[in-house]
Amino acid sequence: MRRTESFAVFATLVVAAVLLSVPLTRWVVAAAGVQESHGFSVIPALAILPLVLWFAHRVRAIEQQAERSTLEARLTGDVRRAEERTQQLSGILRLSAALSGVIDRNSLKHVIESELPVVLGTPDVWLTTRGDGWSLWLGDAAPQGGSLVDGLSRRAATWETVPLAVNGKTVGVLGIGSAGAAPAVERRQFVETVASLLALAVKNVELFRRV
């Protein structure tokens, strides 16, 4: 029990004990004398005191409930973010393992089609490379025929784009379907990590093609 609650209960018990320790008529006479001498009404004040203490106790109880609700909401948010972070790390490891064996464009395409929508949590993904202009568009919004540029020009949408860069050199661009709002910092860092893995895979495919 908190200190405020203990004080309220103690004060109420003291008032009750004092009032019941002597005959009621004596209290009435004494209260009348005080009121006549000092103009202060004792009986109404004693009657109101328990109500004031009860009200203070209720206010404190409401404050404690609000504090618990705030703490629970904060803990729920922390748990949700931890779960999202764990899922992101699992996806990065999964994509890294799948890309480790990529040596040609067909295997890269297969990994992108099978793994990238799962890792990113959306089927609306496109990728284009800088070297030979090879591109790939996934999801229901994928254009039927034509180039990636033509498809993007025909479909008005919001895309989160991330460069595919290796050692400061851009080798392509990754596009991810977005709801329009700016991504959170954690989400942006996650997408940039995914883009780094894809950039290395694209670079490896280019190197194997030159051999």
Evaluate whether 127 touches 136 at the Cβ level (below 8 Å).
yes
Instruction: Count other C-beta atoms under 10 Å from residue 194's C-beta.
Output: 23
pLDDT averaged over every residue in the chain: 75
The confidence score (pLDDT) of residue 163 equals 93
- Structure confidence by residue, pLDDT tens digits, 96-114: 999 988 888 899 999 999 9
pTM, two decimal places: 0.61
DSSP string, 42-72: HHHHHHHHHHHHHHHHHHHHHHHHHHHHHHH
The confidence score (pLDDT) of residue 1 equals 46
Q: In 3D, which of 187, 189, 157 has the Cα closest to residue 175?
A: 157
The confidence score (pLDDT) of residue 165 equals 93
- Structure confidence by residue, pLDDT tens digits, 44-86: 555 666 777 777 778 888 888 888 887 777 877 777 778 888 8
User: What single DSSP character describes residue 121?
Assistant: T
Q: Which value, in Å, is the radius of gyration of the alpha carbons in the chain?
A: 36
The confidence score (pLDDT) of residue 164 equals 93
The confidence score (pLDDT) of residue 36 equals 56
Tell me how far CA of residue 32 lies from CA of 39, 40, 46, 47, 48, in angstroms: 10, 9, 13, 15, 17
Mean pLDDT (whole number) for 16-20: 54
CA distance 196 to 190: 10
The confidence score (pLDDT) of residue 6 equals 60
User: What single DSSP character describes residue 184?
Assistant: P
CA distance 1 to 117: 53
Mean pLDDT (whole number) for 8-12: 58
> Does residue 194 carry a pLDDT above 90?
yes
Cross-strand bridge partners of residue 162 = 174
For CA atoms 59, 63, 64, 68, the dihedral sign is: positive
Evaluate whether 117 touches 105 at the Cβ level (below 8 Å).
no
Single-letter code of the amino acid located at 7:
F
Q: In 3D, which of 178, 187, 195, 191 has the Cα closest to residue 129?
A: 195
- Structure confidence by residue, pLDDT tens digits, 112-123: 999 998 898 888
> What six digits make up the tokens of 24?
């009621």
CA distance 40 to 113: 86
User: What single DSSP character describes residue 182?
Assistant: P
Contacts of 22 (CB under 8 A, 6+ apart): none
The confidence score (pLDDT) of residue 41 equals 54
Single-letter code of the amino acid located at 201:
A
- Structure confidence by residue, pLDDT tens digits, 119-153: 988 888 888 888 766 788 876 655 555 566 666 66
Mean pLDDT (whole number) for 162-170: 91
